Amino acid sequence: MRLEGKVALISGAARGMGAEEARLFAREGARVVLGDLLDEAGEAVAAEIREAGGTASYVRLDVGDEAAWAAAVALAETTYGKLDVLVNNAGIVRYAEGDAEGLGDYDRLMAVNARGTYAGMLAAIPAMRRAGGGAIVNISSISGLVGQKHVHAGYNASKGAVHIMTKSMAVQHAGEGIRVNSVHPGPIRTDMTVDAWSDPALRQRAERATPLGRYGEAIDVAYAVLFLATDEAAYITGAEIVVDGGYTAQ
């Protein structure tokens, strides 16, 4: 199994891509700590993993809260002995609707997506040092690479911040055996995008903009995250993998 012996912490793992990554990681032998604000859904995913023979625990984690990050990392270390992998997946989105009114949405997007990702790395790195190394996968977006007419500029800014902070942290922690990479999903069918993919006109617009002609599924992204988390990616750090059906290739 590709993550045999590894311990992973995944933020935003109660649903969507984070939940799919937790399931896949567990199938590949990792012991997984799932963090989220949605306690009932998060506990249910962890229970589902255990029923399937895997090892998983849920912890309440608001990525804006340093103490909650410390507790999640401590849970990984006390329950499973160490922390090898962090997936900074939790995120929120806003769409552009005419002129933005004030800075509220911008601040919220930056707080969860950018600051929350940085907070996760700060909390995880000392534990990874104790474990002798580690792998961090930050979930950015195609919105961190290109501007989009229908997306709030604050979302692009937050995901662009995740893209470049991944490279800073990769360079700064390479000497400690800690790899840091980013994954950039295109339109993926999750709860976050349900309004878009369940509306025939919006769905068609996204599919037309995507050379592979369809919405991605959470598992499409999870496989890329898995690769970066494993030792197969031992010589990859500060890199980005786009999982977007060709969206940004045109």
Q: Which of 3, 6, 8, 18 binds ligand NAD (CB under 6 A)?
A: 18
**Least distance from C-beta 190 to ligand NAD, angstroms?**
3
243 binds ligand NAD (CB under 6 A): no
74 binds ligand NAD (CB under 6 A): no
195 binds ligand NAD (CB under 6 A): no
Among the listed ranges 2-10, 35-43, 77-85, 95-103, the one in contact with ligand NAD (CB under 6 A) is 35-43
Tokens 């060709």 correspond to: 246
List the beta bridge partners of residue 233: none
Contact between 29 and 5 under an 8 Å Cβ cutoff? The reply is yes
**Whole-angstrom Cα distance, residue 215 to residue 218?**
10
Contact between 229 and 201 under an 8 Å Cβ cutoff? The reply is no
**Least distance from C-beta 175 to ligand NAD, angstroms?**
28
11 binds ligand NAD (CB under 6 A): yes
Nearer to ligand NAD, 39 or 232 (CB): 39
**Contacts of residue 211, Cβ cutoff 8 Å, sequence gap at least 6:** 245, 246, 247, 249, 250
Spell out the alpha helix ranges (H) of 98-242.
104-109, 116-131, 153-173, 194-197, 200-208, 218-229
Contact between 176 and 129 under an 8 Å Cβ cutoff? The reply is yes
Residue 118 annotated among the catalytic residues of the structure: no
181 binds ligand NAD (CB under 6 A): no
**Least distance from C-beta 177 to ligand NAD, angstroms?**
26
Residues that bind ligand NAD (CB under 6 A): 11-12, 14-18, 36-38, 61-64, 89-93, 112, 116, 139, 141, 185, 187-188, 190-193
